[in-house]
Structure 1
Amino acid sequence: MNNRQQNADQIDAFSRYLAERKPMLKQQYEQRLAHDLSRQQWQGCFQRNVLAVLTAFYDEAFYQLHATPFETRQYPVNNGMSELTRQLLTAFQGFIDEFLLFVVDKHRTSCALSNFPDEHKPDKDYINDVKREIAELWRTFALKLNTHFLDRI
């Protein structure tokens, strides 16, 4: 098997890994939310728990990719980004949107949050603030991954 095919197989395996992680991330969010509510820490729980779950997930995904023996020298670098980085980042397409839809729905259907309108029904501004922080997490992850691959060229 040639290096390009081996890399393609590893990218496919990573895509499957992402698909398998989705339900686990939702479960982690539910556990964190339940923990907050049991301690009456509802203020900011949407933001705090989304960012905590995604921070841990991006770290885990990076280490998963870091441990994968990709052949990096065969990929071109365009505008400072390895083509391999671009291909792997594509595997995340729609990932965050799906997760946020789940979280918002979880909050909107939570009886325990119904007395806290900012958390029960997060408004557009609150959600956008969280999305900006998620974008920073994503940026950090993508740069770290790209640097890893560029260092191996």
Structure 2
Amino acid sequence: MLQAFVRDVHAGRAGLIRAARRAYLLGLVALALPGVVLGGLLVLVRPLSAPLPAVLLLVVLSVALSLVALRMAHTAAKNTELPARQAALTAAIQAATAPGVPVLLACALLSEGLAAGLFVVLAVGMHALVWWQLPGWVREPEG
């Protein structure tokens, strides 16, 4: 897997897009994995349910944090002081936070089906947005 990643990083713009998507997915998994373990433990413990206003506040906070993460990733990708490869991979890893925040909140509220489902839908939407935007963030690599 590492050899394919290195090969993609050095295979022009198309390869760099593949490498950035791999880096994004690895970043997302690294962010979400502890949350899934925590969520599983919380399901076993059966915590008290969260009140609806608190869930709605968490949704607003999740959307805001995800949009800030997307903005920061976009800024990193467009940083012309960085080489194209570094900018693309930095942006991809930062972009993993956009769906990662709602995934973590879904895990924290896993014992509450509707709230967890709401965050999963938000995470899927953020993931689709990042996946669609990521190729536009990748510049042609230098020499």
TM-score normalised by length of structure 1: 0.39
Which one has the largest radius of gyration?
Answer: 1
Larger helix fraction of residues: 2
